[in-house]
Chains A and B, each alone.
Chain A
Amino acid sequence: MNVVVCIKQVPDTEQPIRVKPDGSGIEEQGLNWILNYYDEHAVEEALRLREKHGGTVTVVCVGPPRATEAIRTALAMGADEGMLIRDPLLEGADHLGVARALARAIQRLTWDVVLCGRLATDDNAAVVGPALAEFLGVPHATAITKLEIGEGAARVEREVEGGAEVLEVQLPAVFTVERTINEPRYPTLPGIMRAKRQEIRTLTLADLGLAPSEAGAQAARIRTVRFDPPPRREAGEVIRPESPEEAAERIAAFLRDVAKVL
């Protein structure tokens, strides 16, 4: 049971994020780059599959050279191998371009399941997973909260509005995982020191047999043209009621008449 996990390195959004004054992006000074939280859950799920069914866990990442750190985090958690797809021609690629590159790399591997985090916390797009499944020509399910592998098929659970559904999906398949699927393990110190010595393969678009017109900026069908800080909320009304009863009435009235939730 060989599992491939697609990961992304993103800025830690628990630290302050500042938009550049010219709106061309966010300030990179002082950013703490980490493995996308959702991908930690994907790596964890892959490790659990390996513990249960044997096989290997390979991590694939599209990113700049510093993304090797994210791959090392996954290796330190216990992944067997890491691969970085890194090419300046991928600058300006859209999600479909990234998915095409990932698909090409994964097609050369022997694999049964591809796992990704449901979304990445930089652009929150949640596009690469299903697009990757399309390019690999396999079925997919997104935002799964439970995964079990059986004979030739997987049983997954996902939440939909008003409930949950259980699906049986034929393998090979791509799944994107929700954070509630598991509790990721911390990398251990021995894992970190071992990961330091592991070799990470690097691939370019040329290595993948992809032309820039297929995956790079030329192929992109969207472009983020501007970044702005989030809208500042305006203060509403601040009241100092005479009594707690009046306060309660005013709040209930607000909930009923303005927010319309009662």
Chain B
Amino acid sequence: MGEIWVLVDHAEGQVRRSTLELLGKGRSLAEARGARLVALVLGHGIEHLASPLAEHGADGVLLADHPMLASYRVEAYAHAATEAIREHRPWAVLVPSTANGRDLAPRVAARLGAGIVTDVEDLWTEGEQLMARRPMYTRKAVGTVAFLGEGPHIAVVLPKVFPPAGRQEGRSAEVRRLAVHWEGVAVRTREVERREVRRERVPLTEAEIVVSGGRGLRGPENFALLEELAAELGAAVGSSRPPVDSGWVPHDYEIGQTGKTVSPTVYIAVGISGAPQHLAGMSGSKYIVAINKDPNAPIFQVASLGVVGDLFEIVPRLVEAVRRAKARA
């Protein structure tokens, strides 16, 4: 009762990194409340996951292991999760913000009549109350949200906002198997096909690294420089608005207020001055590297690393430097 639960995200027999991040955060919440941290695993053939979960901080592991849960189908997973939550009444359930996490959690919340906050960037307690912080208005504002009532409180947490829990080798947890009752449960979805998508071009909004060009590139042909750097980095290519307005690149390259909002780990801004309209689309990036020959360009006020120099000289050499660094790694 009153436990902190983490819904485990696993694939191909492994616990995914997002789960370790939630275990880390879950641990600190559990300690603040003097409660247990429990990992809930839904799937089939999942017992071997108990051990890594225990080693990463779970006090208890609940296994709902059943052929009906072999692959994600929302009605099957919602049923199992809701049964487990109703039986054990945790105080909070942390769910990773994956495609399926976002598909499942609101349905579970509706079934339970529970409070739910998505895109959580921070989570803490104020007395007895669970609080969350999340971006709103396409990242133009930040909302502080209070969970009301007794719980369970469901938080769907963004990746990479909490550090992953450390591993304590040999640590053990209480492992319990959940008996899920399937009579009368309608599961009206069937997986027809699953495709590994090897895209030549990573979509901008999903890329970990984005290489982006602005007016400083002077013309459409120079975007080839960025494509080369992006290929070397496995990055996506974007642009600020002026290249789109000048017809150098198609509209779907545009990052900014009238284009896409991206939040990669690294955003490399090449020949971009850093107008507010552009910053609005990429200020969520973890690291910003800027190359611009104008030392007064506003982009340098937000760059983690700003380089004043000629992009036409630097970018080709950067391609080489990246190649060498990768070879050594």
> Which A residues are within 8 Å of any B CB, using their own CB?
11, 13-14, 16-17, 19, 26, 94-96, 99, 121-131, 133-135, 138-143, 155, 158-170, 173, 220-231, 233, 235-241, 244-245, 247-256, 258-259, 261-262
Contacts and interface: CB of A to CB of B under 8 A. Distances in A.
A230 B276 CA distance: 13
Contacts of B190: 167-169
B309 A247 contact: yes
Contacts of B148: 220-223
A221 B309 contact: no
A112 B311 CA distance: 55
Interface in B247-291: 257-258, 265-266, 268, 283, 286-289, 291
Interface stretch (B19-27, B32-40, B111-119, B163-171): B111-119
Given A223-B146, A226-B144, A230-B135, A95 B106 contact: yes
B191 to A, nearest CB: 6
A256 B303 contact: no
Contacts of B194: 163-166
B110 A135 contact: yes
B220 interface: no
7 contacts: A224-B143, A230-B140, A241-B309, A247-B307, A254-B287, A255-B322, A262-B233
B236 to A, nearest CB: 13
Given A259-B265, A259-B266, A155 B192 contact: yes
A245 B321 CA distance: 9
A249 B257 CA distance: 32
A133 to B, nearest CB: 7
A163 B142 contact: no
Nearest to B121: A231
A124 B106 contact: no
Nearest to A238: B306
Contact of A122 (B117, B136, B233, B314): B136
B137 to A, nearest CB: 5
A241 B192 contact: no
A237 B115 contact: no
The contact size tier of chain B is 35 or more
B208 interface: yes
Nearest to A174: B107
A252 B75 CA distance: 47
Interface in B274-329: 283, 286-289, 291, 295, 300-310, 313-314, 317-318, 320-322, 324-326, 329
B188 interface: yes
A129 B194 CA distance: 23
A52 to B, nearest CB: 20
Contacts of A255: 233, 266, 289, 322, 325
Contacts of A167: 189-192
Interface in B205-228: 208-209
A262 to B, nearest CB: 5
Interface in B108-139: 109-111, 113-119, 134-139
B308 A238 contact: yes
B113 A139 contact: no
B188 A169 contact: yes
A210 B133 CA distance: 31
A247 B291 CA distance: 9
B189 A139 contact: yes
B181 interface: no
Contacts of B1: none
